[in-house]
């Protein structure tokens, strides 16, 4: 499902962030990418999320060479297949939970009627339906994260990417997140989590270690 | 539309950036208000002038002696009346009456027995009042005259001084309604003659029609050939004279508007070139969620359309209220300040929609030109910037 071949990312000729990485992730697999800060985890996730392009190498997702797609097709691909939950969630703070999900839904459809049922479903899956009309800035860290997860699920994305998901959470919320992650895994979603938190060691998942731009299994 | 996510998001974005938009809306509304109000005034005056001139005779013949207009003997009128090609000739008794150094009104003598006067009187008077015009010293006055009389404690009459120093008390019979009758006094012809100092066998001038416009030049030459001291004015010349006065003022405002518009475009460009980190982040989130550059650009452009629409609607409503309800204070003095336009007291609500549409188009075009580049730059913001 995800096939990365000889992926290299350089920001300057002498500064290599990702160094000739290759790996495969099957459909429905849960993958943990571990590594210290600055090891290149976020860059790898942003390339997988089609937000960044590699300097060289291939990125094949669902057999599509996404690194070659033009903006219009790439945006559509991202909206249909990728759900990205960033470390600081990237929600629009002054809008409601519902409006944040509406923006995500707006990338694929223009019908509010159609969007409403999908939004409700995603909010239920992320266990945040009760906060549907709340303004994001008034939510707790855990609630914000569940909102971001609901947003990632609203377009039925089959690939979910999490960047340091527990970095902004306390231990109780981190535990709740792990339960949610397992539920998503049961839903046959392909999940990649970039983290340095040892809490993920308890999970039964394929684990990679990232160090100085190289990936070790 | 209410069922459209795109439309909802335009509103959400609009209110998210409301403070920034509010400044733009205020500036553009003010600019558009000034322009629209000027346009309403000019359209209204043009309409009133054309209507007024359409109701007048094609030609007016005046006698000039010693470089000034002097009364015309009735024999002139008879000669003109009998010229082939001329119809509805009228020996007019008309002249300005100065109430004081700052106010004058136009006295027009009417004879209820003359067919031309009958046409006018039928519209404004009942038979009883028309009869009073034949037998009594009465007058019909415009709004401006009535205001003057009330201001000077004359309620139902005014005492006119004649040329010979005599005082004639004339009763007010009725108020004249209509946009071209502000400073007009209609009274029996003989009474008007007495006040204006004309003899029974004299006219102030002669008004007449020439139905065949191709004959206008011939008739002018013929009549000017009858008498060395006669001067002819046709309707087109009058319209041109009015238009010149008016175009001068309109042009002045247009040049003012153009310079303000250029300043406004510069303001818009700087306003939208500065994209706050908040806006950048917002756009990056849209891109992160799968919105293409084209779609983000559309969203931003429609936000601009909303601003233009709000500004234009506000400006239109305000200008309409200012001109046609409040009677355009300040601007009225500038536009109706001329003696030629004193016959109008208020603005008739007439709007030329094609000019209004041109303003909208010109304004929108300028607005888009100033904002498209900054918006495009905002739309291509990299989504990874928020990571």
Q: Minimal Cα distance from A49: which residue of B?
A: B288
Distance CA A79, CA A73 (A): 10
User: How many domains does one find in chain A?
Assistant: 1
Residue A100: the pLDDT is: 94
- Six-digit token pair at A177? 């997140």
Residues 6+ apart with CB under 8 A from B240: none
**What are A188's two structure tokens?**
């046959």
Q: What is the CATH number of the domain that holds A43?
A: 3.40.50.300
Sign of CA dihedral A94, A99, A101, A107: negative
Do residues B109 and B197 make contact, with C-beta atoms less than 8 angstroms apart?
A: no
Give how far the C-alpha of residue A180 lies from the chain's centroid of Cα atoms, to the nearest Å.
Answer: 14
From the CA atom positions of chain A, what is the Rg in Å? Answer: 17
For residue A119, pLDDT beyond 90: yes
Question: What is the pLDDT, as a whole number, of residue A210?
Answer: 87
**Sheet strands (E) in chain B:** 59-65, 68-70, 72-73, 87-92, 94-100, 103-110, 138-141, 157-161, 167-175, 184-188, 202-203, 205-209, 230-234
Per-residue confidence (pLDDT) for residue B385, from 0 to 100: 64
Q: What is the pLDDT of residue A102?
A: 93
CB contact under 8 A, B3 and A42: no
Determine the average pLDDT of the residues in A124-136.
Answer: 90
* pLDDT greater than 90 at residue A135: yes
Q: Which helix (H) or strand (E) holds A200?
A: none
A75 to chain B, any CB pair closer than 8 A? The answer is: yes
Cβ separation B5–A49 shorter than 8 A: no
pTM score, whole prediction: 0.71
Enumerate helices (H) and strands (E) in chain A, giving the number of each: 6, 10
Strand partners, A5: A58
How far A157 CA sits from the closest chain B CA (Å)?
11
- Mean residue pLDDT across chain B: 82
The complex's ipTM? 0.91
Q: Hey, is the C-beta of A108 within 8 angstroms of any chain B C-beta? A: yes
- Among chain B residues, the shortest Cα distance to A53 is held by B384
Look up residue A27 and give its DSSP letter: T
Domains of chain B by residue range: 2-52+241-386, 59-209
Residue A23's nearest CA partner among A161, A208, A190, A180 is: A208
Q: How confident is the model at residue B62 (pLDDT cuts 50, 70, 90)?
A: very high
Note whether A157 contacts B: Cβ–Cβ < 8 A: no
| B59 inside 8 A of chain A by CB | no
* A154: contact with B, CB 8 A cutoff: no
* Secondary structure element (H or E) that encloses residue A20, with its range: strand A15-25
**In this prediction, what percent of chain B has a pLDDT beyond 90?**
12
Per-residue pLDDT for A134 more than 90?
yes
- B12 and A CB contact within 8 Å: yes
CA distances in angstroms from A174 to A143, A170, A200, B84, B330, listed in the order given? 12, 6, 10, 107, 69
- What is the average per-residue pLDDT within B306-318? 92
Query: Closest Cα of chain A to B322: distance in Å?
Result: 39
pLDDT at res. B179:
63
Q: Is the pLDDT of residue B387 over 80?
A: no
Cβ–Cβ pairs < 8 A, chains A and B: 90
How far does B278 lie from chain A, in Å, by closest CA?
9
Band the pLDDT of B239: cuts 50, 70, 90: confident
CB contacts, 8 Å: A105 with chain B: 5
Question: Six-digit token pair at A33?
Answer: 């990418």
Residues of A with CB below 8 A from B292's CB?
71-72, 75-76
- Candidate from B4, B284, B292 with C-beta closest to A75: B292
- Measure in Å the smallest separation between the Cα of A112 and chain B Cα atoms: 5
Cα–Cα distance, B48 to B53 (Å, whole number)? 8
The rounded distance, in Å, linking the Cα atoms of A138 and B69 is 85
- What's chain A's average pLDDT? 88
Q: Judge: A102–B8 Cβ closer than 8 Å, yes or no.
A: yes
Residue range of the domain that includes A174: 2-216
B383 touches A51 (CB < 8 A) = yes
Are residues A27 and A202 in contact, defined by beta-carbon separation less than 8 angstroms? no
Residue A110 to chain B, least CA–CA distance (Å)? 5
Residues of A in contact with B4 (CB under 8 A): 110-112
* Rounded distance between C-alpha atoms, residue B43 and residue B37, angstroms: 10
A143 touches chain B (CB under 8 A): no
DSSP H helices, chain B, are: 5-16, 18-54, 74-81, 115-124, 127-135, 143-151, 189-196, 216-226, 235-273, 277-288, 293-320, 331-335, 353-379
Supply the pLDDT for residue B238: 76
| pLDDT interval class at B241 (50, 70, 90) | confident
| B120-149 average pLDDT score | 79
Contact present, A158 and A169 (Cβ < 8 Å) = no
Instruction: Tell me what pLDDT residue A161 has.
Output: 92
CA distance A115 to chain B (A): 8
Using one digit for the tens of pLDDT, what is the confidence trace for A28-87? 899 999 888 878 888 899 999 998 888 999 999 988 888 888 888 989 999 999 999 988
Q: Which of A51, A94, A151 to mutate to test the interface with B (most CBs of B within 10 A)?
A: A51
Residue A98 has pLDDT above 90, yes or no: yes
| pLDDT (mean) for B97-105 | 86
Q: Which B residues 257-286 touch A at CB under 8 Å?
A: 282, 284-286
Question: Does the pLDDT value for residue B248 go beyond 70?
Answer: no
Give the 3-state secondary structure of residue B4: strand
Contacts of A163 in chain B (CB under 8 A): 387
Q: Measure in Å the smallest separation between the Cα of B280 and chain A Cα atoms.
A: 12
Taking the C-alpha atoms of residue B88 and residue B116, their distance in angstroms, rounded to an integer, is 7
Residues of A in contact with B302 (CB under 8 A): none
Neighbours of B175 (CB within 10 A): 13
Report the side by side order of strands in the sheet with A64-65: A15-25, A2-12, A56-61, A64-65
- B323's torsion region: left (phi>0), alpha (psi -120 to 50) or beta? alpha
Task: Write the DSSP symbol of residue B324.
Answer: I
Tokens linked to B136: 């009594």
Q: What is residue B63's predicted lDDT score, i.e. its pLDDT?
A: 92
Given this model, what pLDDT does residue A99 score? 93
Judged against a pLDDT cut of 90, whether residue A138 lies above it is answered with yes
Structure-derived torsion over alpha carbons of residues A75, A78, A80, A84, reported in degrees to the nearest 10 = -140
Span B326-338, average pLDDT: 72
Q: In chain A, which residues have their Cβ closer than 8 Å to the Cβ of B288?
A: 49, 51, 78, 84, 86, 90
Return the percentage of chain A with pLDDT > 70, whole number: 100
In chain A, which residue's Cα lies nearest the Cα of B384? A51
Contacts of B382 in chain A (CB under 8 A): 51
**Inter-chain CB proximity A103 and B289 less than 8 Å:** yes
* pLDDT range class, residue B343, cuts 50, 70, 90: low
Phi and psi angles of residue B208, each rounded to the nearest 5 degrees, phi first: -155, 165
Cβ atoms of B343 and B276 closer than 8 Å: no
Of B3, B290, B293, the CB nearest to A107: B290
Smallest Cα–Cα separation from B303: which of B32, B25, B33, B31? B25
* Cα radius of gyration rounded to whole Å, chain B: 30
Whether the per-residue pLDDT at A114 is higher than 70: the answer is yes
Mean pLDDT of A134-148: 91
pLDDT band at B314 (very low <50, low <70, confident <90, very high): very high
Measure the CA–CA gap between B246 and B309, rounded to whole angstroms. 30
Q: How confident is the model over B19-52, as pLDDT tens digits? A: 888 988 998 898 888 888 888 888 887 787 777 7
User: Above pLDDT 70, what percent of chain B?
Assistant: 89
The mean pLDDT value for A87-99 works out to: 90
pLDDT at B104 over 80: yes
Give the sign of the dihedral formed by CA A170, CA A176, CA A180, CA A181: positive
Asked if B28 contacts A125 with a C-beta cutoff of 8 angstroms, the reply is: no
The length of chain B, given as a count of residues: 387
Mean pLDDT of A160-169: 86
Q: Check residue A37 and give its pLDDT.
A: 81
Give dist(CA B220, CA B223) in Å, integer: 5
């Amino acid at each position: 499902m995800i096939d990365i071949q000889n992926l290299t990312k350089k920001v300057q000729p002498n500064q290599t962030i990702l160094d000739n990485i290759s790996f495969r992730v099957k459909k429905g697999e849960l993958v943990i990418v571990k590594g210290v800060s600055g090891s290149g985890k976020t860059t790898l996730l942003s390339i997988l999320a089609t937000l960044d392009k590699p300097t060289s190498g291939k990125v094949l997702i669902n057999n599509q060479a996404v690194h070659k797609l033009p903006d219009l097709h790439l945006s559509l691909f991202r909206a249909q297949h990728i759900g990205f939950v960033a470390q600081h969630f990237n929600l629009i703070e002054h809008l409601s939970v519902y409006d944040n999900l509406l923006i995500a839904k707006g990338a694929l459809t223009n019908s509010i009627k159609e969007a409403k049922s999908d939004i409700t479903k995603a909010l239920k899956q992320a266990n945040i339906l009760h906060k549907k009309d709340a303004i994001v800035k008034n939510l707790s860290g855990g609630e914000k994260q569940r909102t971001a997860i609901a947003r990632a699920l609203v377009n039925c994305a089959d690939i979910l990417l999490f960047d340091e998901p527990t970095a902004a959470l306390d231990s109780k919320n981190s535990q709740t997140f792990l339960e949610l992650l397992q539920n998503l895994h049961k839903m046959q979603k392909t999940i990649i989590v970039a983290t340095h938190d040892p809490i993920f060691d308890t999970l039964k998942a394929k684990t990679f270690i990232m160090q100085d731009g190289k990936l070790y299994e | 539309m209410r069922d459209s996510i795109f439309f909802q998001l335009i509103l959400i974005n609009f209110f998210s950036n409301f403070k920034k938009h509010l400044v733009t809306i205020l500036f553009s509304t003010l600019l558009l208000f000034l322009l629209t109000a000027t346009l309403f005034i000019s359209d209204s005056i043009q309409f009133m002038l054309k209507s007024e001139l359409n109701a007048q005779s094609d030609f007016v013949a005046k006698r000039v002696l010693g470089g000034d207009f002097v009364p015309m003997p009735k024999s002139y009128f008879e000669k003109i009346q009998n010229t082939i090609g001329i119809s509805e000739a009228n020996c007019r008794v008309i002249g300005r009456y100065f109430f004081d150094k700052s106010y004058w009104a136009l006295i027009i003598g009417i004879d209820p027995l003359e067919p031309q006067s009958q046409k006018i009187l039928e519209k404004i008077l009942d038979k009883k009042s028309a009869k009073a015009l034949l037998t009594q010293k009465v007058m019909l006055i415009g709004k401006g005259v009535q205001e003057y009389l009330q201001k000077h404690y004359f309620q139902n009459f005014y005492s006119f001084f004649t040329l010979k120093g005599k005082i004639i008390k004339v009763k007010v019979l009725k108020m004249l309604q209509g946009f071209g009758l502000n400073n007009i006094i209609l009274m029996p012809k003989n009474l008007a003659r007495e006040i204006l100092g004309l003899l029974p066998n004299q006219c102030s001038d002669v008004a007449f029609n020439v139905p065949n416009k191709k004959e206008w030049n011939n008739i002018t030459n013929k009549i000017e050939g009858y008498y060395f001291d006669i001067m002819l004015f046709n309707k087109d010349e009058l319209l041109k004279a009015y238009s010149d006065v008016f175009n001068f003022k309109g042009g002045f405002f247009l040049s003012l508007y153009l310079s303000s518009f250029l300043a406004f475009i510069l303001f818009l460009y700087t306003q939208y070139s500065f994209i706050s980190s908040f806006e950048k982040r917002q756009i990056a989130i849209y891109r992160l969620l799968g919105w293409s550059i084209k779609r983000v650009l559309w969203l931003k452009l429609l936000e601009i359309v909303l601003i233009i629409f709000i500004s234009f609607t506000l400006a239109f409503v305000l200008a309409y209220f200012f001109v046609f309800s409040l009677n355009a204070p300040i601007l009225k003095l500038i536009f109706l300040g001329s003696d030629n336009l004193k016959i109008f007291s208020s603005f008739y609500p007439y709007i030329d929609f094609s000019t209004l549409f041109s303003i909208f188009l010109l304004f929108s075009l300028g607005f888009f030109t100033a904002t498209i580049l900054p918006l495009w730059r905002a739309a291509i913001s990299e989504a990874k910037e928020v990571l």
